[in-house]
Amino acid sequence: MTDTKTRIAAGLERAFAENGFAEPNIDSLREAAGVSLRTLYKYVPSREEMVLCALEHRHRRYMQFVFANVPATGKPALHTLFDRIAGWMASEAAHGCLFHAAVAAAPRDERLRTLLSKHKNEVAQAVADLSGLADRQGEITLIVEGLMQDWPLHGDEATKCAKNLGDLLMNGRGLG
């Protein structure tokens, strides 16, 4: 991705995260991207493309934030990952998942639904692989999604609950 496209994607992500998907008009999105209207449309030719561009950028940032340099495997890795997801929620997503918000704003947009599914599957697969629970991706998905949905209401208590559920899952598999 070029520097200009990365800057545009970061600005669009920020604008949608701060203002939702309905509120920002094209001029405010252009301003957030820090480019001219012509440049914005050169890289992302429609509002729909702007949303996808922002979410793809967010996906890359999230994966780096949560999964870079995870120490160990098994239960220590799982706890680290849950702490990092909570850290992301605290710093980047205090109002909930931007991917879910995008789909809620345009529920019939198949490209958004596909991107949401891809993001959630990649997250669950990475958590499952790093924790040694590769065959339990469904359960991992429920725990991660539960943590992300509950974190805005309960913060650290949600993280503690996710760790407890992860421990139960691991102990039931003899991986603890």
Residues 101 and 134 placed together within one structural domain of the fold: yes
Residue 63 located in a structural domain: no
pLDDT digits (tens, 9 = 90+) for 70-86: 988 899 999 999 999 99
- 145-152 CB contacts, 8 Å cutoff, 24+ apart: 145/120, 147/82, 147/85, 147/86, 147/89, 148/85, 148/89, 148/93, 148/96, 148/97, 149/96, 149/97, 151/85, 151/86, 151/89, 151/90, 152/89, 152/94, 152/95, 152/96
Number of structural domains found in the chain = 2
Residue 64 located in a structural domain: no
Domain that holds residue 24: 1-56
Residue 61 located in a structural domain: no
Write down the pLDDT at residue 35.
97
pLDDT digits (tens, 9 = 90+) for 94-133: 778 999 999 999 999 999 999 999 999 999 999 999 999 9
Residues 176 and 126 placed together within one structural domain of the fold: yes
